[in-house]
Structure 1
Amino acid sequence: MFMLGWNDGSTGPLLPRIQEVYRCSYLQGFIIGALLNVWLTDRLGFGKVRAALQIITYSVQSAAPPFPAFIIFQVVNGIGLALQDAQANGFVGALTYSPATKMGILHADWEPFAAPLVATQFAQLDRWSFHYLTSLGLSVVNTIILSAIFRFRQQDTCLLEGGEHVQPVAEGKEEGKFKQIMSEKTVHFLAFFILVYVGVEVTIGGWIVTYIIEERNGGPSSGYISSGFFGGLTLGRVVLLPVNKWIGERRALYIYALLSLGLEFVIWFVPSLVGNAITVSFIGMLLGPMYPIAMNQASRILPSWLLTGSIGWIAGFGQAGSALIPFMTGAISEKHGIKSLHPLLVAMMALMVILFALIPNKPLVDAEEPPAEVVNEKKDEKTTA
Structure 2
Amino acid sequence: MRSSALQHTAQSPMPESPSPSPSVSSGEKPKTLSLPPVTTTTTFPSHNERSRIRLTAAFFALLTLGWGDGVTGTLLPYFKRDFNLSFMTSSLLFVASAVGYALGTLCVEFVTSFLGRTCFSAAKTPAVLPLPSLCRRKLQHPPASDASVLGFSIHRCRFLTLAIMSVCHSAFFMIMGSKSGFPSMLVAYAISAFSRSFILGDRSLTSLLYRNVYVCTISKRGLGYMYGSWAIGAFCAPLVCQSIIATGIRWANFYFGSLVLSAINTSLLVFAFCPTRIELLRDADFAWALLRSASPTPDAATVATKETAQASPTQSIAPILQKKISVGPRTYSAAVRKPKLWASAIFSMIYTGSESSTQGFIVIYLLSLRSANPNTVGYVTSGFWGGMAISRFLWGYLGSIVTFRQRKWIIQGCISVAFCMHLLIWFVPSFIENAVSAAVVGLVYGPIYPANISIARDLLPAEVHLVSLAIVAAFGSFGAAVFPFITGTLSTAVGPRTLPIITVSQCVAMFGLWILFPSQPPEQL
Q: TM-score range by the shorter chain?
A: 0.7 to 0.9
CA distance in 1, matches of 2:91, 2:266: 28
Question: Of residues 168, 172, 185 in structure 2, which corresponds to 1:53?
Answer: 168
Give the drift of 1:305. Answer: 4.0
**Normalised TM-score (structure 2):** 0.61
Check conservation: 1:195, 1:318, Cα contact below 8 A. yes
- Give the 5 Å matches for 1:74-113: 74-87=189-202, 90-91=208-209, 92=212, 95=216, 99=220, 101-111=221-231, 112-113=234-235
Check conservation: 1:82, 1:316, Cα contact below 8 A. no
CA distance in 2, matches of 1:322, 1:54: 19
Check conservation: 1:93, 1:296, Cα contact below 8 A. no
Give the drift of 1:250. Answer: 0.6
2:514 aligned partner, one-letter code: F
CA distance in 2, matches of 1:361, 1:262: 23
CA-based RMSD of the aligned residues comes to: 3.2
Give the drift of 1:225. Answer: 0.7
Match of 1:120 in 2: 242
1:5 aligns with 2:78: no
1:140 aligned partner, one-letter code: A
- Give the 5 Å matches for 1:126-275: 126-151=249-274, 167=321, 173-220=327-374, 221-239=376-394, 242=398, 245=402, 248-275=406-433
Q: Which moved more, 1:62-71 or 1:140-149?
A: 140-149
Q: How many correspondences in the alignment?
A: 356
Q: Summarize the Cα distance change of 1:3–1:232 in structure 2 as closer, same or farther, 3 Å threshold.
A: same
Check conservation: 2:387, 2:441, Cα contact below 8 A. yes
Match of 1:376 in 2: none
SS in 1 for 2:178: coil
% identity of equivalent residues: 25
Q: Summarize the Cα distance change of 1:135–1:324 in structure 2 as closer, same or farther, 3 Å threshold.
A: farther
Match of 1:277 in 2: 435
CA distance in 2, matches of 1:4, 1:187: 28
Q: Summarize the Cα distance change of 1:297–1:358 in structure 2 as closer, same or farther, 3 Å threshold.
A: same
1:76 aligned partner, one-letter code: I
Match of 2:445 in 1: 287
Q: Summarize the Cα distance change of 1:168–1:174 in structure 2 as closer, same or farther, 3 Å threshold.
A: farther
Q: Summarize the Cα distance change of 1:139–1:36 in structure 2 as closer, same or farther, 3 Å threshold.
A: farther
Give the drift of 1:31. Answer: 1.4
CA distance in 2, matches of 1:173, 1:88: 15
CA offsets, 1:294-330, max 9 Å, x none? 1221232233343344323322431222211111111
CA distance in 2, matches of 1:181, 1:150: 34
Check conservation: 2:353, 2:482, Cα contact below 8 A. yes
CA offsets, 1:84-112, max 9 Å, x none? 4443894546846875x444323212211
CA distance in 1, matches of 2:517, 2:174: 42
Q: Which moved more, 1:56-65 or 1:130-139?
A: 130-139
Question: Of residues 12, 21, 29 in structure 1, which corresponds to 2:82?
Answer: 21
Please list every run of 5 or more consecutive structure 2 residues that lacks an aligned counterpart in the other structure: 1-61, 113-156, 284-309, 314-320
Question: Of residues 478, 484, 503 in structure 2, which corresponds to 1:345?
Answer: 503
- Greater Rg, structure 1 or structure 2? 2
Structure number having the greater helix percentage:
1
CA offsets, 1:106-151, max 9 Å, x none? 3212211101112223445453212222333333333333334445
**Normalised TM-score (structure 1):** 0.81
Q: Summarize the Cα distance change of 1:37–1:347 in structure 2 as closer, same or farther, 3 Å threshold.
A: same
Give the drift of 1:5. Answer: 2.1
CA distance in 1, matches of 2:90, 2:244: 18
Check conservation: 2:388, 2:443, Cα contact below 8 A. yes
Q: Which moved more, 1:167-176 or 1:246-255?
A: 167-176
Q: Which moved more, 1:71-80 or 1:37-46?
A: 37-46
SS in 1 for 2:372: coil
CA offsets, 1:325-365, max 9 Å, x none? 11111100001111111011100111112232344556779
Give the drift of 1:174. Answer: 3.6
CA distance in 2, matches of 1:305, 1:93: 17
Give the drift of 1:268. Answer: 0.9
